[in-house]
Amino acid sequence: MELLVDSFMKEVEVRNPHEEEFLQSVSEIAESILLYMEDHPQYKKYKVLERMIEPERVIMFRVPWVNDHGEIEVNRGYRVQMNSAIGPYKGGLRFHPSVNLSVLKFLAFEQIFKNSLTGLPMGGGKGGADFDPKGKSDLEVMRFCQSYMTELFKHVGPNMDIPAGDIGVGAREIGYLFGQYKRIKGEFTGVLTGKGHEWGGSLIRPEATGYGVVYFVQEMLKMRNDNLKGKRVIISGSGNVAQFTAEKCIAEGAKVLTMSDSKGFVYDANGIDSHKLAYIMHLKNVKRGRIKEYAEEFGCEYFPNEKPWSIPCDIAFPNATQNELDHQDALTLISNGCFCVAEGANMPSTRAAIHHFESSKILYAPGKAANAGGVAVSGLEMSQNSLRYSWSREKIDRKLKVIIEQIHQSCVQYGREENDYINYVKGANIAGFVKIADAMLAQGIV
């Protein structure tokens, strides 16, 4: 098995030098898929995996804009259109200084499997820019978004490519991007998801990723006749995904002990309750402040420049960013009693951390399965836009739950190993792969 992966990866490394994150995500898929393909030679013969790791198209462009001091700034914009075998390209936009082609290719690659798992007709893509919204005024963010969309509009559309939010792209940015698209094209269409509810957005979309991760954990716990009540939970991040993971955990009776941002984490031994969470939401979404202020407000501990993985817990939600949880963190978590890790973020655990989770046989849900609720409700937003209709909160929440149950079921189907251990990585990768691969076979060599 190792030999198979090594020889496959050697070629991928030559073709994609220095793309560390992309290579990491491909090697994880290769580990699950190569053995499976040995028994399914049609995929090998038609070079399905080799075609899947080559983006259908990469668009890279200059984004010039003028800051509040009248100075000119230049950023780099991207859209990676990875795979359209099962539907139009679909995936978020990330605005963060760390954005580069490797990061976006890994995210787009993960996205095609995730979207396939949702059961909805969505291909995979991802985009963004190395723009840092932090410390920028609303008008600066607006001018940046307008410049970004002035190029991107040529490559997206409701039947072609439908972006949404990700790190650094929330309701504010989606609004500015949508406004510019509408102005240039002269049409009101569902070109983006995560829109405001008054102008074509879906109810529950802001909550969907965080709620979905918790629904996924509930499915895993159900297999053990267990539930969230009284569980000690640690969460990294304090953005969109972290906030609604916390909200749902609190509603289900779990005790949320930590949240973080890129500067450090807070540990609230009494638990972050809904009143304190409302403070965090205001702090992060309106005031755009630092999580440190929470510790000052509620008199709890703050750990600068640290991640929360040293706090003993039952369940951990890495909900900030890629590679935020390494091998040592995995050892610490498990030796402190953690028995479940569910990824709200994309690829937050390193390969070595994942191998430790697998060998420890804990419940481990990879991002492409656990955080698929966000893009699933984006898919439902696309349907509502096509229907020119709007579904109720309850209806969408029910649909979200069903989709997550089905994703969990697919993971169980393809991931069951000896002694009924469910390898959710293998399950998610194979289940996601088969649907795309069959569509690619049916559509010929394109």
Question: Interface with ligand 2IT by CB under 6 A: which range of 86-94, 244-252, 257-265, 308-316?
Answer: 86-94
Catalytic residue, chosen from 126, 195, 231, 307, is 126
Of the pair 147, 193, the CB lying nearest ligand 2IT is at: 193
Among 25, 147, 209, 429, binds ligand NDP (CB under 6 A): 209
Question: Least CB distance from residue 193 to ligand 2IT, whole Å?
Answer: 5
Is 165 near ligand NDP (CB under 6 A)? yes
CA torsion sign, 205 to 210 to 212 to 214? negative
3-state secondary structure at position 337: coil
Residue 304 buriedness (CB in 10 A; 0-12 / 13-18 / 19+): exposed
Q: Which of 88, 91, 175, 348 binds ligand 2IT (CB under 6 A)?
A: 91
Which residue is closest to ligand NDP by CB? 239
Residue found by looking up tokens 């739950």 in the block: 401
Q: Tell me which residue has tokens 């998801």.
A: 193
Q: How far is CA 405 from the centre of its chain?
A: 18
CA distance 266 to 295: 6
Q: How far apart are CA 236 and CA 262, in angstroms?
A: 9
Kindly tell me which of 220 and 266 has the beta carbon lying closer to ligand NDP: 266
Torsion sign, CA atoms 26, 31, 33, 34: positive
Least distance (Å) between residue 158 CB and ligand 2IT: 13
| Binding flags for ligand 2IT, 149-178, as an x/- string (CB under 6 A) | ---------------x-x------------
Contact 318, 344 (CB under 8 A): yes
Instruction: Specify burial of residue 69 (Cβ count, 10 A radius: 0-12, 13-18, 19+).
Output: exposed
Distance, in Å, from the CA atom of 193 to the CA atom of 380, rounded to the nearest integer, reads 9
Under the criterion CB under 6 A, does residue 348 sit at the interface with ligand 2IT?
Answer: no
Indicate the pairing of strand 264-267 with strand 301-304: antiparallel
Applying CB under 6 A, the span of 21-29, 250-258, 317-325, 353-361 interacting with ligand NDP comes to 317-325
If contact means CB under 5 to 8 A according to the sort of partner, which of ligand NDP, ligand 2IT, none does residue 90 touch?
A: ligand 2IT
Is residue 136 annotated as part of the catalytic site, yes or no? no
CB-based contacts of 185, cutoff 8 Å, min separation 6: 153, 191
The answer to whether residue 173 forms part of the interface with ligand NDP (CB under 6 A) is no
Site stretch for ligand NDP (CB under 6 A), options 80-88, 176-184, 314-322, 349-357: 314-322
Shortest Å distance, C-beta 314 to ligand 2IT:
26
C-alpha angle with apex 259: 234 to 164, nearest 5 degrees? 105
Q: Are 166 and 320 in contact (CB under 8 A)?
A: no
Provide the mask over 345-384, with x wherever binding to ligand NDP is found by CB under 6 A and - wherever it is not: xx------------------------x--x----------
What sign does the CA torsion over 247, 252, 256, 260 have? Answer: negative
Q: Among the candidate windows 87-95, 320-328, 420-428, 436-444, which touches ligand 2IT by CB under 6 A?
A: 87-95
193 binds, among ligand 2IT, ligand NDP, none (CB under 5 to 8 A by kind): ligand 2IT
C-alpha distances in Å from residue 152, one per residue of 60, 92, 156, 181, 350: 9, 13, 7, 9, 32
Q: Checking DSSP bridges between strand 124-129 and strand 255-261, what pairing results, if any?
A: unpaired
Cβ atoms of residues 204 and 228 within 8 Å:
no
Q: Which of 150, 346, 385, 423 binds ligand 2IT (CB under 6 A)?
A: 346
Q: By C-beta, is 291 or 363 nearer to ligand NDP?
A: 291
Structure tokens at 429: 């990768």
> Among 123, 124, 133, 374, which residue sits at the site for ligand 2IT (rule: CB under 6 A)?
374
Write down the least CB distance from residue 204 to ligand 2IT, Å: 12
Nearer to ligand 2IT, 67 or 285 (CB): 285
Q: Which residue has the tokens 């091998």?
A: 327
Which residues are marked as active site? 126
**Footprint of ligand 2IT (CB under 6 A):** 90-92, 111, 114, 164, 166, 193, 346, 374-375, 378
